[in-house]
Amino acid sequence: MKNYCFGIDVGGTTVKLGLFSTAGELLDKWEITTRTENFGENILSDICEAMEAKLAEKEISLDDIEGVGIGLPGPITNDGTVLQCVNLGWGTFNVEEKLSEMFRGIKVKAGNDANVAALGEAWQGGGKDYDDIVMITLGTGVGGGVIINGKILTGYNGGAGEIGHMHVDDNETDSCNCGRKGCLEQFTSATGVVRLAKRLMNNTDKETKMREFGENITAKDVFDLAKEGDAGANEVVETMGTYLGTAMSHIAVVVNPQAFIIGGGVSKAGQFLIDAIKDKYRETCFAACGDAAVHLATLGNDAGMYGAAAMICK
Amino acid sequence: MKNYCFGIDVGGTTVKLGLFSTAGELLDKWEITTRTENFGENILSDICEAMEAKLAEKEISLDDIEGVGIGLPGPITNDGTVLQCVNLGWGTFNVEEKLSEMFRGIKVKAGNDANVAALGEAWQGGGKDYDDIVMITLGTGVGGGVIINGKILTGYNGGAGEIGHMHVDDNETDSCNCGRKGCLEQFTSATGVVRLAKRLMNNTDKETKMREFGENITAKDVFDLAKEGDAGANEVVETMGTYLGTAMSHIAVVVNPQAFIIGGGVSKAGQFLIDAIKDKYRETCFAACGDAAVHLATLGNDAGMYGAAAMICK
């Protein structure tokens, strides 16, 4: 194994780049803008330029680089083919081959960003003591990643770990972004928690301090109020926790992980959130699969870079 | 690879033994009684004796045997440790080491019977065109097995694929054998279908020919009547199909298989059953994971032997 590798997390707005030691230390990180114009034709060349500049700055030879891992916001097959990255403007091509050609033949591994973040947490974050984890990212949407024996489970067409779109409610009337109704994401993402809060405020006359925030209430406000003992906010958190805990019990009987790692903006609510979901998970889950640890993610926005590096040097 | 291997499926009543070519052909099969008395202390020696006798009968040398695969009715860890096989009277021990010692140092691989049957179907049965399948066995209970890249997904403590105990109904008042309420098995096993049929007969005054069977109605009766157009029986099948199809959509967003293989006694209802579950699966599933093929299992009671052999020679 050589001494260094790059771990790159490509988002729709910025590309996060990390220079890692292959032992797992993040040595330097920086960002560049994601130029999505003209079907994102500059994205890979911008990344190559940024890496070349970093090698020059640090006086590191390319011979000392083990490879480049890259996380992308869309489904990727096992052979490195991007099926469609709508946020980047990309169509279908083999991103591993393309980036390798552009960066002097270096080894490249590509993965879906949510899966790659899960691998990052499994390598150096909240899941580093475990081989088999499921990560659940509660952000604007809900993402997921399944890590088995320390490797990403991709699934047949890159859809493994798409647990934000698990169907959890037959009676939901609002549509999810995916077009279906009743997806986990509609109840447990930051947006979903706000939706539950507004629904409670609009459809009941319960007294709750959430009303002081009105239409601008955020998921953080809901959790802050719940921690202070506000009954309405606690009802929202309990509903959210019931959906998520039950979904975790579904996941557990399929892949039986050692640990669930909970990340994303909503996870800043901390142990209070973990407590809200853990009990429901244990309560609904088949006993043999119900004892997985439930931890917070620890790498924050760096998880994608860590996971990208892990695809190369873990 | 040597020319032959044994595939053995140990049940609570009989042990099914198969002699296979390592190319995947079942050359001979036979059964012996499972002697569970005295904590099942004779089971492994009975199996060794049966294999020795078969080698003598066929004039095959042990040097020509690649190994022995064995499926067992309980959770097995990746290293071959049986955690508890209550139906056999066994406690916790490493069955691979034990059987190898008893059978002249031969290579032994052990697995959970439901997982092993899934591997059998993936190797030579309904899933033989696919690398990633989930098998669902609808028998007295509901078992499952997840095959990824042609290998059994065991899970942290052998619980992967325990989908019969996925929690699918919050309002169920009857208890499952596992102690929880609302497990998939309670609605989709042979017993579960009968339970749904009796519930319809007892709680409604719907006209249905199911009433002619009364308390002795079987899952086969329900499916036969449904095929004839009986409205009550079709309502039962639809309810069953809704639970199973929705559970399949849960499974699909976790592991994204290429195909689901449906086996067990209830699957004798054939394509009629597949149609009843497939639509609901496609309807509730996230589009990217909703296009898995849904096929009937083809190996019947031999699936366990095939899968046991596959652990050795696939």
Q: Burial letters for B268-303: b for 16+ Cβ neighbours within 10 Å, e otherwise?
A: ebeeebbebbbebbbebbbebbbebebbbbbbeebb
Q: What is the mean pLDDT of residues A260-288?
A: 95
Indicate the helix (H) or strand (E) that contains B118: helix B113-124
Q: Are B14 and B111 found together in one domain?
A: yes
CB contact under 8 A, A156 and B292: yes
Q: What is the mean pLDDT of residues A38-42?
A: 94
Set of chain B residues whose Cβ sits within 8 Å of the Cβ of A256: 154-160, 162
Q: Are A24 and A61 found together in one domain?
A: yes
pLDDT in tens, A207-253: 999 999 999 999 999 999 999 999 999 999 999 999 999 999 999 99
- Residue B275 tokens read as 């149609």
Residue A284 has pLDDT above 80, yes or no: yes
Report the alpha-carbon distance of residue A174 to residue A180 in Å, rounded. 9
Residue B249 has pLDDT above 90, yes or no: yes
Q: What is the mean pLDDT of residues B274-300?
A: 95
User: What sections of B185-294 are H helices per DSSP?
Assistant: 185-188, 190-203, 219-227, 231-255, 271-284
Residue B85 has pLDDT above 90, yes or no: no
Single out the residue of B296, B292, B289, B287 nearest to residue B261, CA to CA.
Answer: B296
Report the alpha-carbon distance of residue B75 to residue B94 in Å, rounded. 12
Report the alpha-carbon distance of residue B164 to residue B185 in Å, rounded. 5
pLDDT in tens, B42-82: 999 999 999 999 999 999 999 999 999 999 988 888 889 99
The radius of gyration of chain A's CA atoms, rounded to the nearest angstrom, is 20
Q: What is the ipTM of this complex?
A: 0.92
Q: Are A95 and A134 found together in one domain?
A: no
Q: Which amino acid is present at A89?
A: G
Residue of chain A whose Cα is closest to the Cα of B247: A250
Indicate the helix (H) or strand (E) that contains A44: helix A43-58
- pLDDT at position B75 is 82
- pLDDT at position B31 is 97
Pick among B77, B130, B147, B156 to test the A interface (most A CBs inside 10 A): B156
What does pLDDT average to over chain B? Answer: 95
CB contact under 8 A, A148 and B148: yes
CA B17 to chain A, closest CA, distance in angstroms equals 29
For B291, phi and psi rounded to 5 degrees? -110, 20
CB pairs under 8 A between A and B: 135
Q: Are B234 and B151 found together in one domain?
A: yes
Report the alpha-carbon distance of residue A32 to residue B272 in Å, rounded. 56
Set of chain B residues whose Cβ sits within 8 Å of the Cβ of A165: 253, 286, 289
Q: Are A106 and A8 found together in one domain?
A: yes
Going by pLDDT thresholds of 50, 70 and 90, the confidence category of residue B288 is confident
CB contact under 8 A, A132 and B155: yes
Single out the residue of B242, B182, B183, B191 nearest to residue B219, CA to CA.
Answer: B191
**Which three-class secondary structure state does DSSP give residue A273?**
helix
Report the alpha-carbon distance of residue A178 to residue B289 in Å, rounded. 12
**Which three-class secondary structure state does DSSP give residue B101?**
helix
Is A54:A19 a contact under the CB 8 Å cutoff? yes
CB contact under 8 A, B159 and A252: yes
pLDDT in tens, A98-132: 999 999 999 999 999 999 999 999 999 999 999 99
CB contact under 8 A, B178 and A254: no
- pLDDT at position A171 is 94
**Which three-class secondary structure state does DSSP give residue A85?**
strand
Residue A84 has pLDDT above 80, yes or no: no
Is B70:B108 a contact under the CB 8 Å cutoff? yes
Measured CB to CB, residues of chain A less than 8 Å from chain B are: 75, 132, 146, 148, 153-163, 165-167, 178-180, 182-183, 246-247, 249-258, 284-289, 291-292
Read off the CATH number of the domain in which A159 is found. Answer: 3.30.420.40
Q: Are A142 and A214 found together in one domain?
A: yes
Q: Are A137 and A111 found together in one domain?
A: no
Q: Are B206 and B271 found together in one domain?
A: yes
Q: Could you tell me which residues are beta bridge partners of residue A71?
A: A9, A111
Given B179, B251, B258, which is nearest A254 (Cβ)? B251
Q: Are B90 and B133 found together in one domain?
A: no
Q: Are A141 and A39 found together in one domain?
A: no
Q: Are B294 and B307 found together in one domain?
A: no
CA B287 to chain A, closest CA, distance in angstroms equals 8
Q: Are A246 and A135 found together in one domain?
A: yes
Report the alpha-carbon distance of residue B247 to residue A241 in Å, rounded. 20
Set of chain A residues whose Cβ sits within 8 Å of the Cβ of B257: 155-156
Is A261:A126 a contact under the CB 8 Å cutoff? yes
Expressed as residue numbers, the domain containing B249 is 129-298
Q: Which amino acid is present at A104?
A: R
Q: What is the mean pLDDT of residues B21-28?
A: 96
Is B4:B21 a contact under the CB 8 Å cutoff? yes
State how many domains chain B has: 2
Single out the residue of A310, A273, A289 nearest to residue A110, CA to CA.
Answer: A310
